[in-house]
Chains A and B, each alone.
Chain A
Amino acid sequence: QVQLQESGPGLVEPSQTLSLTCTVSGGSISSSPYYWSWIRQPPGKGLEWIGYIYYTGSAYYNPSLGSRVTISVDTSRNQFSLKLKSVTAADTAFYSCARDNCGGGGCLDSWGQGTLVTVSS
């Protein structure tokens, strides 16, 4: 049973870069056909897909986030990471990592517990 765990700062100052890491255990991040995803949810609001990455490094992002977002993968550590630049209060949310089990088709069958990131000075 694969497990995912997010880690990173819970507080980020405005205009800075939000950085989170997801550690995958119980399975290899290099396995096909999995894509490794980031999703966020502002408190009391709905889900927003941020993007995902394949173990080869191919990454795809939500167009609404533009060039602010970068997802990377470290297969040697079985981890993938999220960087979101120039954050504002609107980026305050629970950030979750998840496994996409249908080749990037949006079948997120395993999730981390999520971590709250607050953007504030």
Chain B
Amino acid sequence: QSALTQPASVSGSPGQSITISCTKTNSYVGNYNLVSWYQQHPGKAPRLIIYEVTKRPSGVSNRFSGSKSGNTASLTISGLQAEDEADYYCCSYASSSSCVFFGGGTRLTVL
């Protein structure tokens, strides 16, 4: 079982907003202050879309935003577009062990 729990799937219609949660289920993950999110289209390498909980790399649309409350980090995608259909992974750094953990992934379907 992953130290980070994500829903297996979410869906939304074009133009809508969706939120994907990522809950820390293992104290091993530590203070959960370094959370990143990745988008992966089939057959492609993952792409970093959020880092350090809320920051967006250059070139990433501002329709993607990150937040955190307690033990749950969230990725929100607003104004859904067909191209957003992909797998999304959260990732966290565990300072106690200098290790990185991925969540199990969430498949986003744009209806």
Complex Cα spacing A61 to B94, Å? 12
Q: Bits for B19-47, please: 1 = Cβ < 8 Å to A, else 0.
A: 00000000000000011101010000111
Q: Which residues of B contact A14 (CB under 8 A)?
A: none
Q: Which residues of A contact B65 (CB under 8 A)?
A: none
Least CB distance from B90 to A in Å reads 10
Complex Cα spacing A62 to B101, Å? 8
Least CB distance from A97 to B in Å reads 10
Q: Which residues of B contact A84 (CB under 8 A)?
A: none
Complex Cα spacing A107 to B49, Å? 9
Least CB distance from A43 to B in Å reads 11
**Any A CB within 8 A of the CB of B48:** yes
A47 & B46 in contact (Cβ 8 Å cutoff):
yes
Q: Which residues of B contact A112 (CB under 8 A)?
A: 45
Interface residues of A toward B: which range? 20 to 34
Least CB distance from A116 to B in Å reads 11
Least CB distance from A32 to B in Å reads 16
How many B residues face the partner with a CB closer than 8 A?
A: 26
**Any B CB within 8 A of the CB of A55:** no
Give chain A interface residues in 12-39, CB to chain B under 8 Å. Answer: 37, 39
- Closest Cβ neighbor of B2 among chain A residues: A46
Q: Bits for B79-105, please: 1 = Cβ < 8 Å to A, else 0.
A: 000000000010111000111111111
- Closest Cβ neighbor of A4 among chain B residues: B45
Q: Which residues of A contact B38 (CB under 8 A)?
A: 47, 108
Q: Which residues of B contact A100 (CB under 8 A)?
A: 100
A102 & B51 in contact (Cβ 8 Å cutoff):
yes
A104 & B46 in contact (Cβ 8 Å cutoff):
no
Complex Cα spacing A100 to B89, Å? 16
5 contacts between A and B (CB under 8 A): A104-B93, A107-B52, A108-B48, A109-B57, A111-B46
